[in-house]
Amino acid sequence: MFAFSKEQRARHRYFVSNKDKVAEIVRAMGLDEGERQGIKSTIIEAYPGPGTFTRAFMEHPAVEKVISMENVSMFLTCLEQLRDDPSMSAHADKLRIIPDTGYSWDTYETLVKDGHLSHLEGRVAKLGAHAPPMDWDGTLFPLTSAPSPIVFFAQLPNTVHGEQLFAQLVNAISSRLWLFQFGRVKMIFVCGETVALRSMASPQDPRTRAKLGATVQCLSTPKQLLTGDEMEPYAENMYPPTPTIGPRVPVTSIFIPNSNISTGLQKRKLTALEIDPLRSPLIDARDMDSFEFLTRNMFVLKSQTVVEGLKHTAPGANNILRLVAPEHPRMKDRPEDVVLPDTLIVELTNRQWASAVCAAD
């Protein structure tokens, strides 16, 4: 039934096929936590495949709507059958299907333009004539910690496009673009375990610590909901049972742009990764270009000291060290933000990266 061919536009796609594993991941997402505060979730699902998670979301009592984005015809047929299935009649009104890829910005514009989020008007920022003000960090309503009713979920293709989409959506936290225009939207990804390990790598983990981890942690709190070992054996939990890896190819202008071509895509182990945007991100939109420039150029020399890395970054870049030195007035009450010249690049903390970027601006 599922021909994962180039003609079907499904090469290097996969989906969780084991119903018990689907249920385990959905439980780990904590959808009931929002309902305990009177909030039902709206799931925006990219790459749903035939709808194994879609069905679980539709049946979940804490889910109000499921909006599935899929552009592969054989999967679209399955989603339509799921919506029309008599056994799902009690939940059929929950499901909306958008026949487009979750990889394109245009799909998310369609999401709003065609009214798929109209049920949230007046309940979240920027939706409806009487939308509440943005309360990203909880300053307006400090006694509440209610999560956003919107949750993004994606089973990322095992290609460079999957990692590009992940990186670009994380970057969007800084500018509050994409779904973040509506608030602190939590994201859940089924993805290669290498993506999760790199996202969570600390300065004490020099082998795995890299640009991706610094970016993710300066903007969000990453958390593995299921480890790669818990998703094994692969063939018993995933379809196709034999995983494939996509080519490292450039993207065209119709897709989400990202210059960071990934390496070491994981061929086998998959994981479930949660990305929860920080209430107070360490990097904002104004500093993001500088952050991208510094981390991209310095992490290639991550075993070198900061002073050596800055020398190779740009002429005069080592002047940054004067502004983040312990004797500088702006560092007087910020010892955690001080950057010493002989610190190894790989050992810089997230706060130190943010401090260096702020000085660079």
Single-letter residue type at 251: V
The conformation of residue 18, written as its DSSP 8-state character, comes to -
CA distance 91 to 58: 6
The answer to whether 109 is a known ligand-binding residue is no
Beta bridge partners of 224: 273
Question: In degrees to the nearest 10, what's the CA dihedral of 21, 58, 256, 15?
Answer: 30
CA distance 6 to 18: 25
Alpha-helix residue ranges (DSSP H) falling in the chain: 19-28, 31-35, 52-59, 73-84, 105-113, 160-175, 193-200, 211-219, 234-237, 285-298, 306-311, 320-323, 350-360
The answer to whether 16 is a known ligand-binding residue is yes
Q: How far is CA 316 from CA 310, 321, 326, 341, in A?
A: 8, 10, 20, 14
Q: Three-class SS of residue 213?
A: helix
86 Cβ contact list (under 8 Å, min separation 6): none
The conformation of residue 305, written as its DSSP 8-state character, comes to B
Quote the tokens at residue 199.
Answer: 């996202």
Kindly give the pairing relationship between strand 220-226 and strand 270-277.
Answer: antiparallel
Kindly give the pairing relationship between strand 238-239 and strand 95-98.
Answer: unpaired
Burial 219-237 (b: 16+ CB within 10 A, else e): bbebebbbebebbeebeeb
CA distance 330 to 295: 23
CA distance 196 to 271: 7
| Residue 147: CB atoms within 10 Å | 18
Q: What are the binding residues for S-adenosyl-L-methionine?
A: 16, 70
Which residues sit in the known binding site? 16, 70
